[in-house]
Protein backbone atom coordinates (compact mmCIF):
# COMPACT_ATOMS: atom_id res chain seq x y z
CA UNK A 1 0.00 0.00 0.00
CA UNK A 2 2.86 2.39 0.83
CA UNK A 3 4.30 1.96 -2.66
CA UNK A 4 1.01 2.77 -4.40
CA UNK A 5 0.47 6.15 -2.69
CA UNK A 6 3.43 7.95 -4.36
CA UNK A 7 2.42 6.56 -7.76
CA UNK A 8 -1.18 7.68 -7.31
CA UNK A 9 0.03 11.14 -6.24
CA UNK A 10 2.33 11.36 -9.28
CA UNK A 11 -0.50 10.40 -11.65
CA UNK A 12 -2.80 13.01 -10.11
CA UNK A 13 -0.14 15.72 -10.46
CA UNK A 14 0.50 14.79 -14.13
CA UNK A 15 -3.18 14.99 -14.98
CA UNK A 16 -3.87 18.19 -13.04
CA UNK A 17 -0.73 20.05 -14.16
CA UNK A 18 0.28 18.74 -17.60
CA UNK A 19 1.93 22.00 -18.61
CA UNK A 20 4.32 21.74 -15.66
CA UNK A 21 5.13 18.09 -16.20
CA UNK A 22 5.21 18.04 -19.98
CA UNK A 23 6.58 21.41 -20.98
CA UNK A 24 7.07 21.82 -24.69
CA UNK A 25 10.72 22.28 -25.62
CA UNK A 26 11.03 23.36 -29.24
CA UNK A 27 13.69 24.60 -31.58
CA UNK A 28 12.83 27.80 -33.44
CA UNK A 29 14.92 29.46 -36.11
CA UNK A 30 15.68 33.17 -35.98
CA UNK A 31 17.36 35.16 -38.71
CA UNK A 32 18.47 38.69 -39.37
CA UNK A 33 20.51 40.51 -42.02
CA UNK A 34 22.04 43.95 -41.78
CA UNK A 35 24.15 46.06 -44.10
CA UNK A 36 27.41 47.33 -42.64
CA UNK A 37 28.27 50.66 -44.23
CA UNK A 38 31.41 51.34 -42.19
CA UNK A 39 35.05 50.63 -42.94
CA UNK A 40 35.58 46.86 -43.28
CA UNK A 41 39.13 47.35 -41.93
CA UNK A 42 37.80 48.75 -38.63
CA UNK A 43 37.70 45.41 -36.80
CA UNK A 44 36.23 46.86 -33.60
CA UNK A 45 33.21 48.49 -35.27
CA UNK A 46 32.72 45.48 -37.55
CA UNK A 47 32.77 43.20 -34.50
CA UNK A 48 30.12 45.34 -32.77
CA UNK A 49 27.95 45.19 -35.88
CA UNK A 50 28.31 41.39 -36.07
CA UNK A 51 27.19 41.14 -32.43
CA UNK A 52 24.19 43.35 -33.20
CA UNK A 53 23.21 41.09 -36.12
CA UNK A 54 23.52 38.04 -33.84
CA UNK A 55 21.35 39.65 -31.14
CA UNK A 56 18.72 40.64 -33.72
CA UNK A 57 18.60 37.08 -35.09
CA UNK A 58 17.99 35.76 -31.56
CA UNK A 59 15.34 38.44 -31.03
CA UNK A 60 13.65 37.36 -34.28
CA UNK A 61 13.49 33.82 -32.91
CA UNK A 62 11.96 35.07 -29.65
CA UNK A 63 9.27 36.93 -31.60
CA UNK A 64 8.55 33.73 -33.53
CA UNK A 65 8.19 31.83 -30.25
CA UNK A 66 5.79 34.46 -28.94
CA UNK A 67 4.06 34.58 -32.36
CA UNK A 68 3.71 38.30 -31.92
CA UNK A 69 3.87 40.58 -34.91
CA UNK A 70 1.97 43.38 -33.20
CA UNK A 71 3.95 45.73 -31.00
CA UNK A 72 7.31 45.10 -29.44
CA UNK A 73 8.57 43.75 -26.17
CA UNK A 74 10.68 45.87 -23.86
CA UNK A 75 14.44 45.39 -24.03
CA UNK A 76 14.38 44.34 -20.39
CA UNK A 77 11.97 41.48 -21.15
CA UNK A 78 13.99 40.34 -24.17
CA UNK A 79 17.16 40.28 -22.04
CA UNK A 80 15.31 38.34 -19.32
CA UNK A 81 14.13 35.72 -21.83
CA UNK A 82 17.64 35.36 -23.29
CA UNK A 83 19.16 34.99 -19.83
CA UNK A 84 16.54 32.72 -18.23
CA UNK A 85 14.45 30.87 -20.81
CA UNK A 86 16.66 29.98 -23.76
CA UNK A 87 18.25 26.59 -23.26
CA UNK A 88 20.50 26.62 -26.31
CA UNK A 89 21.34 29.04 -29.12
CA UNK A 90 23.31 27.60 -32.02
CA UNK A 91 24.47 29.49 -35.10
CA UNK A 92 23.25 27.66 -38.20
CA UNK A 93 24.75 30.03 -40.75
CA UNK A 94 26.73 33.26 -40.90
CA UNK A 95 27.31 35.00 -44.22
CA UNK A 96 29.07 38.18 -45.19
CA UNK A 97 28.99 39.51 -48.73
CA UNK A 98 29.45 43.10 -49.94
CA UNK A 99 28.79 44.48 -46.47
CA UNK A 100 25.60 42.45 -45.95
CA UNK A 101 25.94 40.34 -42.83
CA UNK A 102 23.38 37.63 -42.07
CA UNK A 103 22.98 35.25 -39.15
CA UNK A 104 20.63 32.34 -38.75
CA UNK A 105 20.32 30.73 -35.31
CA UNK A 106 18.45 27.78 -33.85
CA UNK A 107 16.95 28.51 -30.44
CA UNK A 108 15.92 25.68 -28.14
CA UNK A 109 13.51 26.80 -25.45
CA UNK A 110 10.44 25.99 -23.41
CA UNK A 111 7.95 27.69 -25.72
CA UNK A 112 5.09 27.92 -23.24
CA UNK A 113 7.27 29.48 -20.54
CA UNK A 114 8.51 32.14 -22.98
CA UNK A 115 4.98 32.88 -24.21
CA UNK A 116 3.68 33.15 -20.66
CA UNK A 117 6.47 35.50 -19.59
CA UNK A 118 6.19 37.74 -22.67
CA UNK A 119 2.40 37.76 -22.34
CA UNK A 120 2.65 39.94 -19.25
CA UNK A 121 1.41 43.46 -19.69
CA UNK A 122 4.69 44.80 -18.32
CA UNK A 123 6.60 43.29 -21.27
CA UNK A 124 4.63 45.11 -23.94
CA UNK A 125 6.24 48.32 -25.13
CA UNK A 126 3.84 51.15 -25.54
CA UNK A 127 3.29 52.50 -29.02
CA UNK A 128 3.32 56.25 -29.61
CA UNK A 129 -0.45 56.08 -30.16
CA UNK A 130 -0.93 54.73 -26.63
CA UNK A 131 0.36 58.05 -25.36
CA UNK A 132 -1.67 60.15 -27.81
CA UNK A 133 -5.05 58.45 -27.50
CA UNK A 134 -6.15 60.23 -24.30
CA UNK A 135 -5.23 63.59 -25.85
CA UNK A 136 -7.04 63.24 -29.17
CA UNK A 137 -10.01 61.33 -27.77
CA UNK A 138 -10.71 64.28 -25.46
CA UNK A 139 -10.43 66.76 -28.33
CA UNK A 140 -12.61 64.81 -30.78
CA UNK A 141 -15.32 63.81 -28.34
CA UNK A 142 -15.38 66.99 -26.27
CA UNK A 143 -18.94 68.31 -25.95
Q: What is the pLDDT of residues 55-98, one digit of tens each?
A: 999 999 999 988 865 568 888 999 999 999 999 999 999 999 99
Which of the pair, 22 or 43, is modelled with greater confidence? 43
Confidence at residue 142, expressed as pLDDT on a 0 to 100 scale: 47
Q: What is the pLDDT of residue 11?
A: 67
Q: Determine the topology of domain 25-121 in CATH.
A: Dodecin subunit-like (3.30.1660)
Would you list the DSSP string of the chain? -TTHHHHHHHHHHHHH-HHHHT--EEEEEEEEEEE--S-TT-HHHHHHHHHHHHHHHHHHHHHHHHT--SS-B-HHHHHHHHHHTEEEEEEEEEEEETTEEEEEEEEEEEHHHHHHHHTSGGGBPPPHHHHHHHHHHHHHT--
Domain boundaries, the chain: 25-121
**What's this model's pTM, rounded to 2 decimal places?**
0.69
Mean pLDDT of the chain, nearest integer: 80
Amino acid sequence: MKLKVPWIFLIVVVFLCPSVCLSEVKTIQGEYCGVYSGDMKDKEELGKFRKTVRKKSVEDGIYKIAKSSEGHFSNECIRHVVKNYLQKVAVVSHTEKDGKICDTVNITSDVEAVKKYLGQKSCKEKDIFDYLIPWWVDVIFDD
